Structure formats: C-alpha cells, structure tokens
Chain A
C-alpha cells in the first residue's frame, strides 16, 4: 500500500523516479524525514543505493530505516547498499583505491578543497560502477545528504555546482555511465530568515536542473504541536518539452509521527477540524 508521501508524489510504479533528479530543500524546518522516506522506498523497491552523508552515521540511517520498515544493514550485506561516510572521514589520511569500493564503508580524503569534490566524485563513480556490476538490471539511486554543508567548509559554489552536474550526468543522462537507469536525490539547506548568498545560489542552480523539488518549511506563525510544517512539491519540466506549463505545484501541511508522515491540505489538520 503506498504511503501518503508516495500518493502525493503520484508514484504508481517502482521506476517512476528513474532518470530524474530530486532536490529536497528545507528552510526553518528539518526536511530529513524526506530523505529517510526516500531511502526506505529505494530499498523496498529493490533498487541499488549509494548513500553519501555529511550529516549522520550509517547507524542513524539504519535505525530510522528500521522504524520505516526497511533493513539497511541487510541490504548493505547483500551488496545493494553502499554508504560513503563523509561525516567522520572528511579529512582522514586514508586514500581511495579502486578495490576499496567493494567494502562496506568507503572513506576518502584529500589535502585541498578543490580536489575534495574530485575525490568524492571518483568515489561515487566507483561505488556506482561496483553496484551496477553486481546487479546490472537494477536502477541505482544516489542520495547526497546534505550538499550545502560543504559551503561551510569553504568550498566555492561553482565547485559544488559542478559536482552536482557531474552526479546528475552520471545517473540521469543517456550518455552518462548509468545510461539514465539511475536517479539522484540531493538535499540543500537554505534558511530564508538568515540570508546566505551561497546557499541561495546553490539551491537556485540545483532547481534549474532538477525534475522534482520538495521544499519543507516551518509554519509562518510559529511552532505547533499538531502541524509540524508545510511541504511544497513542484514538478518541473526544465526542457519545456511541450507548450504546457513547466511548473506544477502542490502545497500541503504535515505532521510527523514515529513511523510515518501525515499529509493534509493547508488548514485541514485533525486538530483544527
């Protein structure tokens, strides 16, 4: 039975997102529940997953995934999930070697910022290649959580945008390695009340390329026990493949519970009705 989020995204088949780039952004709220949902969905659909995280450890994703009904550890042991730990090993001393992509955790390091993303991309490329070698018929999903943290490390927006374009090219294009049999999910953070030019620019760059944009923001009136925020879903058509509108949008409110997210139209929370 599809979850409320899958119904909102109009997901009818397992491969609906293949070939697409999905951007998850948040402002004055935590949108990480969407990433956990997508990770859970990828493993339930039987797809391959390369999870790159700058924010949490593998244990966190596994624990949260268990509540949502997926066993990340088991999928990792069967070779369908690779976790790239950028949280603990960002500037470690271990070099990336090609055969290390077969291991469970892939760490990477670099001396300077400009080659950090090159090394990271190289790591991702090898991980994706290894996943597809083991399971050639399955789509592969790359999840990067959270891209905008790299701006705090001093990386330039231009370098990050090039990295995003590279990942998009790798997974979502017919000429990339995955031959459009992959999809790319990326999180960016941009608080609207504290103006950060770099974060805004990064978000704008990713939006011009993506196919689906999910934006989580807090309520403008403040915190509420019954309504945890607003979720705006945009379906984008950047290539303008017809004369029809390139952008369609749905605006909902949500409440998070232990195991799922409840969605409802604005002002239609159970507490209000």
Chain B
C-alpha cells in the first residue's frame, strides 16, 4: 500500500518552501480557522512566532487556542492599542516594517514567522501602496509571513495588487461542519510559487478536527470506490437469457422480406413481386413513337 502523498496545504503547514502566504476569506467563509491551524503547526517549526492583531482584542483571538500554543507565540494587539488611544505604541496607525521589526525584538528575523490578522483592517488606515510595499519587504526579511485578507471588502484591483506580492494564496471556496459537528471541512484553491519559480495550482479539500488539526487532500485524488456492477437478470423469477439451441434456431430463421444472397450480376436489377390486384401491361409504352 503506497502512503498518501502530502497535499500542498499540508506541506505548507510544515513550513516547507513557505514565504508569503495569504488566506482570502469572506463573510461566509471564515479564514481565521486556517490561520489558527497554521499557528498550531508552525509553533513546532519556528522558534519565534509573532501575531499582529488588528481585527479584535487579544483574549477573543486566543480563545480556543491550547495553553501551550499561547505561551509559544507573541501577540501584538494593534486593535487595543489603536482604539484605546495609545499614542506611544499604535501598531495599527503606525504600521510599517520598522515598527514590526522593533516589535519582534531581538529574535533573529530569519527564524521568525509573522501572522497578520488582517490586512483588510490595515487597508482602512493606510494606502494600498504602503501596505503592499510593507508586506513585500516584511516577507523578504522574515522566515515566513502569513496574512488574512477579507476578499469581499476590496475590489478586484486591490486583490490583484495583493496577489502580486504573495507567493502562496489560499482562496476559500466552501465550508461546512463535519458529520459529528466537532470540526469543519472545506475546499480551497491554492496557487503556490515555488522557490524554483514553478507555479503550482491546486484545488484541495481539507478537514479540521479538534485542536485546529488540519488534514488535506487534492480534489482529484479523492478515491473513487469502484462499485461492482450487478447483473440485472440475476434475481428474476423468469428467464430472459437464451439457451444455445434457441440461439442457433434464431440464427437460422429466415426473415420474410430478406432474399437469399445471389451472385452479383452486371448492372442493377429490380425484382418486383406483383400482387393479385396489380394490372401489369407488358407492351412497350414507346411503341407509338415515330423516331
């Protein structure tokens, strides 16, 4: 039995070949689930993970995360700083690469993963060009950058610009609860630019179980269970098949309007079998012509 190959989503969770990843959600498809899945897996890989939070206050965002994960991440709550009016440290109003690097502190940037929730809130307070420049620069400085974008809050031009600076984008397409209602399953489209330059596009389905544990697989690789074809004549009370004698008798039957095969003669001939009521005149109809 061959082990199942890792899906692209699962390989991104391991942090392999990950640079800048954007998760694009909407009002009915919550991307924060994937953010928390990435966080849960990335704490095992990166020595230092920093979360820059702009959409809600800290205790609400960390609600549901295991204590071990909370202790291993550093959360910078730009939301509380901004709305509380903290002038000295307002990571939302003063968002820039320099401020983010200062917030990260002494940890070497090549070992740091940054998660931003969300870029849509940053775009409410800063110009598109500033945000894009900052994301591009930040993504090049740190080991991995992951950010959430609410795609229904921006027009196609803004989304195209954001897609341009990201190396991996995950677009959510559907979400529904699992059968036992303890988790979720969903589907997404991924576009991933590898370090070699090759671009991979995949449609994948995923399932998230308790504790933000994610497993995924490609849509094409969903196993199709071969169904045995059932013989429709198996359980009938009468026979619909022919015995060998019946088959040979059928082959010998001469159909009423089929003539036996005759050797081919020159020219076409018409064979007509007159009925009793036919009145055939055997004289030549052209006799009276004086040519």
Contact = CB atoms under 8 A, between A and B. Distances in A.
A242 B57 contact: no
Interface in A132-178: 158, 161-162, 165-166, 169, 173-176
Given A238-B30, A238-B32, A243 B124 contact: no
A165 B64 contact: no
B164 to A, nearest CB: 22
A239 B56 contact: yes
Interface stretch (B128-136, B206-214, B238-246, B263-271): B206-214
Given A176-B83, A240-B36, A243-B33, A205 B210 contact: no
Contacts of B224: none
Contacts of A165: 83
B212 A238 contact: no
Interface stretch (B181-189, B196-204, B226-234, B275-283): B181-189
Contact of B32 (A166, A207, A240, A244): A240
A209 B79 CA distance: 13
A121 B244 CA distance: 94
A1 interface: no
Interface in B33-64: 33, 36, 55-57, 59-61, 63-64
B150 A175 contact: no
Interface residues of B, number: 36
Interface string A180-209: 000000000000000000000100110111
A163 to B, nearest CB: 12
A245 B32 contact: no
Contacts of B208: 243
A21 B63 CA distance: 18
Contacts of B181: 244-245
Contacts, number: 81
B7 interface: no
A204 B36 CA distance: 22
B210 A243 contact: yes
A241 interface: yes
Contacts of B32: 238-240, 246
B61 A175 contact: no
B57 A204 contact: no
Contacts of B84: 175
Contacts of A243: 33, 182-184, 208-213
Contacts of A201: 153
A240 B152 contact: no
From B175, B176, B183, B184, residue with most partner A Cβ within 10 Å: B184
Contact of A239 (B27, B63, B120): B63
A256 interface: no
Contacts of B36: 240
A263 to B, nearest CB: 23
A166 B82 CA distance: 10
A176 B30 CA distance: 25
Interface of B: 26-28, 30, 32-33, 36, 55-57, 59-61, 63-64, 80, 83-84, 120, 124, 150, 152-153, 175-177, 181-184, 208-213
11 contacts: A158-B124, A174-B57, A208-B27, A238-B56, A240-B33, A243-B210, A244-B182, A245-B175, A245-B177, A246-B30, A246-B184
